[in-house]
Amino acid sequence: MVYKQSVQSLFQPFSLKTLSLSNRIVMAPMTRSFSPEGVPGADVAAYYRRRAENGVSLIVTEGTVIDHPAATGDPNIPNFHGDAALDGWARVVKDVHAAGGKIMPQLWHVGITRRIRSEPNLEAPSISPSGIDLMGEKAGEPMTEEEIAKVVRAFADATAHAKKLGFDGVELHGAHGYLIDQFFWDKTNRRTDRYGGDLVRRTRFAVEIIEACRQSVGPDFPLVLRISQWKTGSYEAKLAKTPEELGQFLAPLVEAGVDMFDCSTRRFWEPEFPGSDLNLAGWTKKLTGKPTMTVGSVGLETEPYGQHEEHGLIDKLLERMDRGEFDLAAIGRAILADPEWAVKIREGRDNEIIPYTSDRLTELF
């Protein structure tokens, strides 16, 4: 297709502390389960290197799990702890850097979304703020403060590993109804201690994680936090119902040490609040002054959640980038389908782009 807007806004440099990017295109994190026993192999390194070789400036890896027995219910999700897994990630970093790209791990604990008695640790109970699942049903016991402290330490240790391995920053997964987000959301956090209460008080768990991570790596290592309003299976959920509430929610996270927010939406072009066409990334940047990354169906020419209208999504993205609504664009399915997506966009070879289709999913890794 021919874009109405110049694509040059996607190919401007960007800097954040020690991170220097040649363009604004980010590979969004996408879970793959291709790391047997939690260890990323040479195929994982090749997968990421191929995207870096073809114009992706920053890669945020698939979710990688911290050192906690209930962090995942899938033995093929890559670990971010243990000598074998960390050696695997060292190879990934080396290959991506050799191809001219930058890379951050996404650090993850799935919390109560993990099925009870699932591998790799069958006997470990799943954990959550209040022992309540995303449907609001009783599913265990609330985390103790001792357990909270252990998880905070595990995130900090993983962040320290990332810096030691040569990663270019870290993204903490605080979205989509996983553990950090379970503390944010009033449906899953009904605690009455210092980790519960109103929206600001519910940020305390995340604040302690961010502060511990910052302490583990110093002031110059970039820390990114992924946030979302929606939750898995609860797409209409809202942490903040107004810009004022969003600002109150974000303030303690910024103060704790977040350098950039990865703002996950299902459709990046949709306004977050009535009365303004700013999306979640736009509002977050406006309220905090921090750089933001937008994500949500970028690069797809048909909207993938049950509707099939043509949207001219790249034009919509370029319009918003040109006016500075957000700083980076994270692209998932389009780059999954076509590792050369970025370079084809840059060179005007749009007619050569391989489109994403769900029936090709098993072929795309």
User: Distance between CA 178 and CA 71 in Å, rounded?
Assistant: 10
User: Distance between CA 339 and CA 141 in Å, rounded?
Assistant: 44
- Which residues does the annotation mark as catalytic? 178
Any residues with CB less than 8 A from the CB of 149 and at least 6 apart, and which?
none
Annotate 146-202 with DSSP letters as a single string: HHHHHHHHHHHHHHHHHHHHT-S-EEEE--BTSHHHHHH-TTT----STT-SSTTGG
Strand duo 328-331 + 260-264: pairing: unpaired
Annotate 202-271 with DSSP letters as a single string: GGHHHHHHHHHHHHHH-TTS-EEEEEES-BTTBTT--S-SSHHHHHHHHHHHHHHT--EEEEE-SSTTS-
Annotate 83-144 with DSSP letters as a single string: HHHHHHHHHHHHHHHHTT-EEEEEEE--GGGSPTT-TT-TTPPP--SSSB-TTS-B-S-PPP
290 close to 260: Cβ distance less than 8 angstroms: yes
287 close to 245: Cβ distance less than 8 angstroms: no
263 close to 326: Cβ distance less than 8 angstroms: yes
293 close to 330: Cβ distance less than 8 angstroms: yes
Phi, psi of 35 (to 5 degrees): -125, 85
Strand partners, 65: 79, 108
310 secondary structure, DSSP code: B
CA dihedral 15, 21, 25, 29 (to 10 degrees): -90
